[in-house]
């Protein structure tokens, strides 16, 4: 009898915990993440690739040479170098990627996508279309608010040192707030809140504490 009472108490505590808004949001993000993984797996099976191999291919084709190496990729995907190397070797054996000697640093090799790899880019990058379709049904203001909420979550994760690779405007040396307006010193132009980037190819980490002006941005958006 006592055991049943304890179990009922535990269930009640779990229900109360699940009812907290913060937990509902986390659970919602987890379900979206699970959907993302399922879509990625389904696409991976078609081409006999692993989900991480698809992500590596898409990363390599959309980023500059200084980011196309084992060291950078291991940080990007939060994988050990041996694990990342195995994934790259498999892509090379399948003919989707190859090593290219870095002319600026002979000790470093750049990983590039082959002609065969480029042929499947359009097919594999559409795995996320079901999620895009859902977003297309939302009005513009809803999407802006969602985007900025996600930026804030990423910001806090970075601040708590959760090993996220960041190429966001908010922590870039070119980012500046001038008269409460967002300004990119590289592009020499003002940016609208919806134009903030989360994966900028020109990103350079600023030296001062990241996001020290983010409270002003929060007021703006």
Is residue 204 scored above 70 in pLDDT? yes
Q: What is the pLDDT of residues 105-142, one digit of tens each?
A: 667 789 999 999 999 998 898 888 999 999 999 999 99
Terminal CA-to-CA distance of the chain, rounded, Å? Answer: 54
Question: Which is nearest to 88 in space by CA: 59, 63, 64?
Answer: 59
Q: Is-contact 85 70, C-beta < 8 A?
A: yes
Q: Which domain holds residue 26?
A: 1-137
The reply to whether 98 and 62 lie within a common domain is yes
Question: Considering its fold, how many domains does the chain have in total?
Answer: 2
Chosen domain end from 98, 117, 137? 137
Chosen domain end from 137, 152, 178? 137
Domain CATH for 4: 1.10.10.10
pTM comes to 0.67
The reply to whether 101 and 170 lie within a common domain is no
Q: Long-range contact list for 187-196, CB < 8 A, 24+ apart?
A: 193/144, 193/148, 193/217, 193/220, 193/221, 194/143, 194/144, 194/147, 196/147, 196/151, 196/168, 196/169, 196/170
Report, as an integer, the average pLDDT of 172-189. Answer: 82
Read off the DSSP letter of residue 161. T
């Amino acid at each position: 009898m006592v055991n049943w009472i304890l179990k009922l108490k535990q269930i009640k505590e779990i229900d109360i915990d699940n009812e907290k808004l913060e937990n509902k949001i986390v659970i919602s993000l987890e379900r979206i993440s699970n959907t993302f993984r399922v879509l990625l797996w389904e696409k991976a099976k078609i081409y006999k690739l692993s989900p991480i191999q698809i992500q590596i291919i898409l990363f390599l084709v959309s980023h500059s040479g200084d980011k196309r190496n084992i060291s950078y990729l291991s940080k990007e995907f939060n994988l050990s170098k041996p694990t990342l190397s195995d994934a790259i070797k498999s892509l090379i054996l399948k003919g989707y990627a190859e090593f290219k000697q870095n002319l600026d640093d002979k000790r470093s090799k750049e990983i590039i996508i082959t002609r065969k790899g480029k042929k499947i880019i359009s097919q594999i990058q559409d795995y996320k279309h079901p999620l895009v379709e859902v977003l297309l049904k939302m009005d513009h203001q809803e999407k802006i608010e969602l985007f900025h909420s996600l930026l804030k979550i990423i910001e806090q994760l970075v601040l708590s040192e959760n090993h996220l690779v960041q190429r966001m405007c908010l922590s870039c040396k070119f980012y500046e707030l001038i008269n409460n307006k967002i300004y990119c010193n590289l592009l020499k132009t003002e940016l609208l809140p919806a134009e903030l980037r989360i994966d900028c190819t020109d990103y350079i980490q600023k030296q001062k504490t990241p996001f020290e002006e983010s409270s002003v941005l929060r007021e703006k958006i």
